[in-house]
Amino acid sequence: MCGRFSFFDFLSFQRRFNLQIPALIQPRYNIAPSQEILAIVKPNPEDGYQTACFKWGLIPFWSKDGSAARKLINARAETVDQKPSFKHSFQKRRCLLPADGFFEWEKLASGKKPYRIVLKNREVFAFAGLWDAWTDPAGQTIHSCTIITTSANSLLENIHPRMPVILPQEAEEAWLHHETDRLILKNLLLPFPAELMESYEVSVRVNSPRNDDPGIIEPLRTP
C-alpha cells in the first residue's frame, strides 16, 4: 500500500511540469490520508495539464456519506477497472499525484521499521491516481483521490509486498488522455524499475502525521 509520502521539492516539480502550485499546497514531509494533496489533471481532451487540490481518500460520486474515504486511500491495479468504487474514475477521472518520496514499513518481530523510498536522481515523480467529486448532504462538493498500487519490485519486496504505481514520464500523457484504451491503461500499472530507486531507514517519528518537518526524511544511519 501507500499510506505516507512527501512533496517539498517545488522547483523540481515546476521544472518538470511547468505548472504553478496552488497556495493551499505547502512543502510537506509526512503527508497522510485525509489531507489535501496536489494533483495534475486534464479536465477535457482539448485542455492542457492543470493542477488541482484533492482530499486523499476517494469518495465515489454515488456514496451516501463520506465514510468511504478512510478505506479508499489506495486502489489495487489488478482490480481497479472492476471494483465499483474505482471503475468510473478509472474510465473518466485519472490524475497524476506528484511526490518526491514515499514511506513503507517493514514488519519485524520487534515492531515496524520505516523506510523512505526515492528515485536515485532525487527528482519529483508522479503516482498514478484516480479522483472523483462527491456532493455531501449540505450541498458541498468534495474532490478526492486515491493512489493506485501494484506488486512490489525487487527493491521493495523485502519491505512490503505492495508499492504505489509510479508512472514513467513517457507514460504520463497516455494516463491522462481521455481516449486511451483500457488495456493500454492497465499495462501502465507496473512496478517501477528497482534499479532507478533506492531506500533508506528513517526515524519512527514518521509514524505520527503530527511530525511533519525536514528531519522526517533524514536517514536514520549514515553508511
Give the residue among 105, 37, 99 at the shortest CA–CA distance from 69: 37
| Distance in angstroms (rounded) separating the CA atoms of residues 71 and 84 | 14
Q: Is position 104 annotated as part of the catalytic site? A: yes
The three-point CA angle 34-36-37 to 5° equals 115
Active-site option among 95, 104, 145, 172 = 104
Structural contact between residues 131 and 144, judged by C-beta atoms closer than 8 angstroms: yes
Q: Cα Rg for the chain, rounded, in angstroms?
A: 17
Per the rule left: phi > 0, alpha: psi between -120 and 50, beta: everything else, 139 is left
Amino acid in position 45: P
Active-site option among 2, 95, 145, 172 = 2
Amino acid in position 213: D
Say if strands 50-56 and 141-151 run parallel, antiparallel, or are unpaired. Answer: parallel
Q: In 3-state terms, the chain is what percent helix, strand and coil (to 5)?
A: 20, 35, 45
Catalytic residue positions, numbered: 2, 104
